[in-house]
A and B are shown apart, each in its own frame.
Chain A
Amino acid sequence: MAKGIKDKVAILGMGCSKFGERWDSGAEELMLEAFKECVSDSGIDKKQIQAAWFSTAIDEVHVGKSGIPLSTTLRLPNIPVTHVENMCASGTEAFRGACYAVASGAVDFALALGVEKLKDTGYGGLPGGRGAPLQQLWNANGTAPGNFAQLASAYMAAHDVKYDDLKRAIGHVSWKSHQNGAKNPKAHLQKAVEMDTILNAPMIAAPLGLFDCCGVSDGAAAAIVTTPEIAKSLGKHDLISVKALQLAVSNGSESGHNSWDGSYFHTTRIASKRAYEEAGIKNPREEVSMFEVHDCFSVTELVTMEDLHISETGKGWKDVLDGFYDADGKIPCQIDGGLKCFGHPIGASGLRMLYEMYLQLQGRAGSRQLKDPRIGMTHNLGGAPRENVSSVSIIGRLDA
């Protein structure tokens, strides 16, 4: 039986660009902005990096394919660079690749860098397109908000939740993230928003209004990983190690078999269970200090908190309204502002979440700093509720 990744890899350094409508920057400038901070934080030289994983998702609208854009932009010393794409989990997938390379002993230092330059399309929202040629012939004429809005109707039906209660709960999800994002200089949206504004915003895809949707932003984030032993030998202390890296991918049962009721993420339930097992976490509601979850839409976060086995199924909306996930609640969620305030440069988001966990665990999160966090968990959900990739990562203090 495999032992898993727990404590085999330490984060040596991380970097994150300012997120936002970066009219001043292309993907290349964003990559360098994140990389400069990351390499300086790591204390090693660029030449010591032996392999890199490079994540983007909608590469048609910015860098294009392959590992070349990263290698060329950073002028890497002809090392292996692997381009990964796994929808919204792409950033976390780059991190997993780098961690596995270090854990296997193949390399001492590996880089994961994710970037997405979305704001060169000429219109708001995620860049569109109708998918693969066969999908174009039969998939519904949907968008990301419309696909995730499906959750809301199915969740209300499954748990007999009233529309107004759900609307208030998902409104609170966004309200809380805006409160947090207002304190984060790297966030795209740094403004607290009133509950009334959230509830009365124009509909994007019913019942999701404007503030139920995350921003659309440009950004990049990066990590350099090594083994805890090497990190120590370089004089690093307060090490942050990787506890679990899990990914669960739909196999078509939700979208094609009538056993799924549409009210939850089948994959997230599986990935989080595996992650707790890998990390040796028995009672996540007590042991996890904070979350950065995939709040592409407010309702996604609400349902995800149940699927991560933190809130009881069908009761997550009550935890949300009780402030359980607020900055001063039992387990803060999206303490950096989340996708809600950072937007979702797809290839970068997973690494951006890890960046916040890393800062918090090292006590370097400034005015957002939580008291003594020991375990942080990140989650990405790519695709749609009916068919998706769900990644769950747990990092923490090496001594945790």
Chain B
Amino acid sequence: MVGITAFGAYVPRLRLNRQAVYDANKWFAPGLRGQAKGERAMANWDEDSVTMAVEAARDCLNGTDPKSLKNLFFASTTHPFKDRQNAGVIGTALTVEQGLMAADIGGSQKAGTSALIAGLNAAMSGAPTMVTAADKRLARVASAYELQYGDGAAALMLGTDKVIAKLLGSRSVSMDFVDHFRGDESDFDYGWEERWIRDEGYTKIVPPAIKEALGAFGLKAADISHFIMPSLMAAVPKQMAKLAGIPETAVRDLLNANLGDTGTAHALVMLVDALENAKAGDKILVIGFGQGVDIVAFEVTAELGKLGKRMGLSGWLARRKEEKNYLKFLAFNEMLPIEKGMRAEFDKKTALSILWRKRDMIYGLVGGKCRVCGTVQFPKSQVCVNPNCHAMDSQDDYPMAGLEASIMSFTADSLTYSPDPPAYYGMITFPEGGRFMADFTDCDKDQVKVGAKMRMTFRIRDNDTMRGGFKRYFWKAAPA
């Protein structure tokens, strides 16, 4: 029996107030008034699809050792790198490389469900497989997309042991129906008329495919307790359910009110939401639409109740800070030519050879533990840092990303260039040993104090725009 063995999600802390966006743009686009409700998740300036997927993957692992992971798929339409494996960055951040098959999947809004199907196929052999999906899509100022999109990620662990939702079957149809596209020369989506998408796209492609799939899986439409179908058109999932004979009560909420549509991650995000609310025996139908349709059906097992507590979608949604500053949203997304000052001009060229040598340290936050005196230290070094030891070549790897740290000293720096000044940073210490001067993120002034508990999070520290956008990733400390 193959299926889902664990789930995780990630939602950035900031939630952009849609009314604030509308208020700024209504002079130009008064027609958006109907959508000026609730809030959408907004990535911090130091987050992208990779960092969000790493967080979702960590949430999914929930402290379990990822070393046995054999397959890692990463679905996104906003992979930070076109050529450099994004899934590989995630793998290295999770400190798993050996024996790992990593692959990026993209190019469509159904990439998330396609990755899920590929992952399930790979996991059938029993190989632990993770599917992550994340999107951070840009939208033009005063567009409906700007209000509809949200940034977020999900991760699912797939396998054959302790399955919480067993696979009942999957079916795909692939056809070049172009409801929207994002060409190689654009940062933004270009969409066709919604009524045409609904009538010629969804209506003609989805219900027949569902009917056929349910037949193949041996399921009745009335048996479906969770119908998951992302769409930017709020009424469409209900219409498709109705056409397929699925009860309206099964149609899952699109999470529009406080998250927004997380792109190709959204089917998986909604699946996590469903799993957080499902009970044994529930049947879940997941639809991924985009140049065809993916249909995946699961049945929840009793194992779900035994799954360890994690942040999950509800936990991350609850960790929230409202953002009413629309200009900040634009600036964070490099859509506002803000005066950054000369301190933003420092060259951010990365020595790739150093990054390769130090990838465990930089991407994995792996420190060292001295075999002679037991001191944990970061970075791992050839001579022990303990002044009473100084043993040579005595350290074993010691992963530190999962450890809680506390603030020893700090400042709020208004001089250094930061996209979100002032820059908070300070010395953090790990109770097991080890410390370093870390950038802080996702924090407010009153959260930064000596002794405050911090959680490590994988973030962008620099973007080398001189060389086409090489993101420098490292770990930062955020309030626990």
Residues of A near any B CB (own CB < 8 A) = 121-123, 125, 128-130, 133-134, 136-143, 145-147, 149-154, 156-157, 202-206, 208, 251-253, 255-259, 261-262, 384, 386
Contacts and interface: CB of A to CB of B under 8 A. Distances in A.
Given A153-B409, A262-B408, A139 B437 contact: yes
Given A139-B437, A141-B439, A257 B413 contact: no
B375 A142 contact: no
A122 B70 CA distance: 53
Interface stretch (B207-215, B272-280, B418-426): B418-426
B385 A146 contact: no
A342 B387 CA distance: 37
A128 B343 contact: yes
Given A150-B426, A253-B385, A257-B387, A137 B362 contact: yes
A245 to B, nearest CB: 25
Contacts of A128: 343, 346, 416
A134 B353 CA distance: 10
B416 A142 contact: yes
Given A128-B416, A133-B351, 14 more contacts: A134-B354, A136-B472, A138-B362, A146-B413, A154-B427, A154-B450, A156-B450, A206-B412, A206-B413, A206-B422, A252-B385, A253-B385, A257-B435, A262-B408
A22 to B, nearest CB: 20
15 contacts: A128-B343, A134-B354, A137-B362, A138-B379, A140-B438, A142-B416, A143-B416, A147-B411, A153-B450, A154-B409, A157-B450, A205-B411, A253-B387, A256-B378, A258-B435
B465 interface: no
A255 B415 contact: no
Interface in B399-449: 408-418, 422-423, 425-427, 429, 433-439, 449
B355 interface: yes
A146 B342 contact: no
A128 B381 CA distance: 27
Given A141-B416, A141-B418, A205-B412, A134 B358 contact: yes
Nearest to A204: B415
A137 B354 contact: yes
Contacts of B437: 139-140, 142, 147, 150, 255, 384, 386
A125 B435 CA distance: 28
B354 A143 contact: no
Which size class do B's interface residues fall under? 35 or more
A140 B343 contact: no
Contacts, number: 147
B429 A138 contact: no
A206 B421 CA distance: 12
A145 B414 CA distance: 9
Contacts of A137: 350, 354-355, 358, 362, 461, 472, 474
A161 to B, nearest CB: 12
By Cβ-Cβ distance, the 3 closest A-B pairs, closest first, are A146-B413, A149-B411, A150-B409
A128 to B, nearest CB: 5
A257 B385 contact: yes
Interface string B184-197: 00000000000000
A351 to B, nearest CB: 27
A328 B226 CA distance: 81
Q: Which of B361, B381, B425, B449 has the most CB of A within 10 A?
A: B425
A136 B381 CA distance: 18
B418 A153 contact: no
Contact of A145 (B375, B410, B415, B461): B415
B285 to A, nearest CB: 45
Contact of A142 (B377, B425, B449): B425
Contact of B410 (A138, A153, A255): A153
B125 interface: no
Contacts of B378: 256
Contacts of A146: 411, 413, 415-416, 423, 425
B348 A149 contact: no
B418 A255 contact: no
A138 B361 contact: yes
A259 B387 contact: yes
B355 A129 contact: no
Given A137-B358, A146-B415, A258-B435, A122 B342 contact: yes
B435 A150 contact: no
A256 B472 CA distance: 23
Given A134-B354, A141-B461, A255-B437, A206 B411 contact: yes
Contacts of A154: 408-409, 427, 450
Given A138-B436, A206-B422, A258-B433, A386 B472 contact: no
A106 to B, nearest CB: 34
A54 to B, nearest CB: 27
Q: Which of A137, A156, A255 has the most CB of B within 10 A?
A: A137
Contacts of A256: 377-378, 381, 385, 434-436
B63 interface: no
Contacts of A208: 411
Interface of B: 341-343, 346, 348, 350-351, 354-355, 358, 361-362, 375, 377-379, 381, 385-387, 408-418, 422-423, 425-427, 429, 433-439, 449-451, 461-462, 472, 474
Contacts of B418: 141
Nearest to A121: B342
B415 A205 contact: yes
Q: Which of B343, B385, B414, B437 has the most CB of A within 10 A?
A: B437
Given A123-B343, A258-B435, A157 B451 contact: yes
A203 B414 contact: yes
Contacts of A150: 409-411, 426-427, 437
A154 B406 CA distance: 13
A257 B348 CA distance: 29
A123 B342 CA distance: 7
B426 A153 contact: yes
Contact of B354 (A122, A133, A149, A153): A133
Contact of B474 (A122, A133, A138): A138
A146 B429 CA distance: 18
B409 A262 contact: yes
B415 to A, nearest CB: 5
B407 to A, nearest CB: 8
A137 B461 CA distance: 8
Contacts of B472: 136-137
Given A122-B342, A205-B415, A253-B387, A261 B425 contact: no
A262 B427 contact: yes
Contacts of A121: 342
Contacts of B413: 141-143, 145-146, 149, 204-206
A261 B427 CA distance: 10
B423 A141 contact: yes
Nearest to B362: A137
B466 to A, nearest CB: 14
A167 B110 CA distance: 57
Contacts of B451: 157
Contacts of A129: 346
A222 B314 CA distance: 66
Contacts of A136: 348, 350, 462, 472
Nearest to B407: A153
Q: Which of A149, A251, A257 has the most CB of B within 10 A?
A: A257
A206 to B, nearest CB: 4
A70 B346 CA distance: 28
Contacts of A384: 437
Contacts of A156: 450
Contacts of B358: 134, 137
Nearest to B474: A138
A273 to B, nearest CB: 16
A212 to B, nearest CB: 12
Contacts of A262: 408-409, 427
